[in-house]
Structure 1
Amino acid sequence: MKIKIGNICHMIVHYVGNKSREEGVSFSEKELDFTDVSSDITSMLDKSFDAKEPCHFYFESTLALNPIYTFVKTIFGDVSRFQEQSEFIAKILYEKTSHPMTKSGELNIIYLSDCEIDGKKTDAIAMLKTENKQPAYQYLHTEHGYEIQKSEVISFAKVEKGCLIFNINENDGYVVFSVDKKSKGIQPKYWKDDFLHIMTDVTSYSRTKNLLNSCKTFIADNYAEDSKVERANLISKVRKVLEQTETLSIHEFSQEIFCEDNLDKQFETYLSSKDNPCRMHEEDIQIEKPLVKRKSSLPKTTLYLDSNFEINIWGGHDNIVQGYDEAAGMNYYQFFYNKEK
């Protein structure tokens, strides 16, 4: 999808504390005057969201019971209720911040007009939570010279935690893009799952990403006792197979990668199990090659030997011997090859 950010029409900021610490919610009585920062905010939104991963609101029983979806729908239907509904949104976020590690911060809610998605003009709503502030220093000119003053500021470089909702596909939960750059462990769950309650659309991109993440987790859990060389060789094999495949059969892929260790059926079961956060069914997948080629898509296959050597493993672990030289008192690797390229 291609998206284009339009113009800010309304913006309001509420403070949302941590519920476990009883920090409460503080509502703004009026909308923010965004005149001086409008272009900075729209620029930040434009470069922060990955249009390759669209999501949609959902709820287990019926979509209408998703509170954020309902509040957003109300605003799109009557923008004069923007401030009223923004307070409801802030209250819901506060209810989801019960984890002690969840940071307090400002919830920025923005109404945008003249946006575009795949060439279609529509309005949009952005929600941004600012939790991490950066130190800034300002010189103050006095009659005796200069003084320096320290303060904490919000960066408009990129969204850390936020979502962008386009007013299309209302009955299917709208088109939503979400980002959460800073949260680790359990924390991303509260923003995407507990607060927004959104689900990633099923696309070739999302299915390729889910397969890569599933491979990453499965290898980490089942090959922990293997040597680094053997794990690197297996990861390289996964990448090579995916790079050479247009349409992938899960069954054939599982046999090619994991059959030698009798883990192919276990991997197929893992893909569709509830224990897999990237749960997926055994269907053919159109592989997104650029995603496979990203260095971050799979674990590194590089051996770091002291501070002198970095060795990339692309296969051929049978031609690598690891040992210990008692005379030298050091570990070693031997690599056997036919010719140098």
Structure 2
Amino acid sequence: MQQILILTTMVGIDNVELQQVIVHKVGNPTRGESLKLSKNKLTLNDDIVNKIFVKYLLNGFNENDLYHFTHLSDLGMNEVYNYVQQCFKSDSVFEANSALMAQFLYSKSTHVKVKEGEMYVVKFDKVPFEGDFIEAFGIFKNESKETYLRVMEHGQTFEIIGEDGINLSKIDKGCLVFNKNGAEGYYCCIIDNGNKNNDTAYWVKDFLGVEPVANEYHFTNEYLQVVKQFATQEMPEHFEVTKGQQIDLMQRGLDYFKENEEFVLDDFTEQVIQYPEMIEQFAAFKDNYAQSKNIEMENEFGIDLSAVKKQSKSFKSVLKLDKNFHIYIHGRRDLLERGYDEETGKFFYKIYFEEES
């Protein structure tokens, strides 16, 4: 059964209210950068600016990708969880607790790649979540600056000057905490742009101390990650495979998640992995993956299409041949034949088709 992919970004934020906002500046202590704490909250008198600011902070969140605060021994020992919980209970502690959060983030910002930036601490109301509009708490950090041109009138002439400002297209790092399920660590959404290679874990692990909620989105997302890594990393180590065969396996895996409502591990391996020795290697790889990330991976669950949409963007379907040709593989790997020509000393692909357009 073919399903329709859905959008994942947060919708319905037009009526979100800003209750309290404060800005601190957090540097990297290993570079001698300082922590500058604001003494006062922002004034929120301009409705147009407020709406732009809300969209800037919230537009990048995927409300299907949920996390929760955790701690190895006791949830109550998670610093950020404690500060947020107190702010939900009382507005009077907002400024003091925002300063404590900034100090805690400063202590975790020691990695060489952590940049100085503004930290926004925000109390929201009427935030959409699970069909309702509820209170939420946000912690954000902007580390990127853009140079903008500004035209200024100078007497009877005009001048153009450059000014550094915020790129409103995305926030660098964010945590939106919904005031729901507090006893279990709340429900949170996370943004961590600029950390594609996982070379800095300070925001998610060291500062926030959050982990994914074990739900259908989480299981779908992780299995697709396993499929991609198995095809690109594990298969070439243990089997003689071509790039085309790797792309073909990834495409079959992606198609399985697009075309089915339920994931069943035995059915998946039979349809996608296919070969008994490769199925055995896939099972071992999946178990090692789950153990290394300290996560659960169920063998049966409902497929979440928003996770499929997110992961499909990173699934490679292009076979690059030197710098001359690209072959886009969307299915029917059996119609693509690879060979070697003795006379030219070069490899070749033979493609079978019925029509061209």
TM-score normalised to structure 1 length: 0.89
Name the structure 2 match of 1:271: 286
Residue deviations 1:11-47, cap 9 Å, x none? 1111111132231311011112243321111122342
Q: Does 1:14 align with 2:24?
A: yes
Q: Quote the RMSD (CA, aligned, Å).
A: 2.6
Deviation, 1:335, is 1.9
**Distance in structure 1 (CA, Å) of the matches to 2:175 and 2:355:** 51
Distance 2:58 2:210 in 1: 21
Deviations along 1:221-267, whole A, 9 cap, x unmatched? 21236321111121122123333333222244235433526132332
Could you tell me which residue of structure 2 aligns to residue 316 of structure 1?
333
Please give the alpha-carbon distance, in whole angstroms, between the structure 2 residues aligned to 1:78 and 1:122: 16
Q: Deviations over 1:192-236 (max 9, x none)?
A: 111111121122122111100111112222123632111112112
Identify which of 280, 304, 308 aligns with 2:320. Answer: 304
Q: What amino acid maps onto 1:107 in structure 2?
A: M
Does the C-alpha gap of structure 1 residues 235 and 107 become closer, same or farther in structure 2, counting only changes over 3 Å? Answer: same
Unaligned runs of 5+ in 1: none
Preserved CA contact (<8 Å) 1:238 1:257 = yes
Aligned to 1:58: 70
Check whether the contact 1:128–1:162 (CA below 8 A) recurs between aligned residues.
yes
Residue 296 of structure 1 and its aligned partner are, at CA, apart by 3.1
Matching of residues 110-189 of structure 1 within 5 Å: 110-143=122-155, 145-187=157-199, 189=201
TM-score scaled by length of structure 2:
0.85
Indicate which of 237, 244, 247 corresponds to 2:259: 244
Q: 1:90 Cα shift?
A: 0.5
1:3–1:115 CA contact under 8 A, matched in 2:
no
Structure 2 segments unaligned to the other structure (5+ residues): 1-7
Aligned pair count reads: 339
Match of 2:220 among 194, 199, 208: 208
Whether contact under 8 Å (1:218, 1:267) holds in the other structure is yes
- Identical-pair percentage: 24
| Contact 2:217 2:306 survives alignment (8 Å) | no
SS in 1 for 2:236: coil
User: Which residue is equivalent to 2:301?
Assistant: 285
Query: How has the CA–CA distance of structure 1 residues 294 and 52 changed in structure 2, closer, same or farther, with 3 Å as cutoff?
Result: closer
Q: What amino acid is aligned across from residue 311 of structure 1 in structure 2?
A: Y
SS class of match (2:59): helix
Write the distance in 2 (CA, Å) between the matches of 1:125 and 1:325.
66
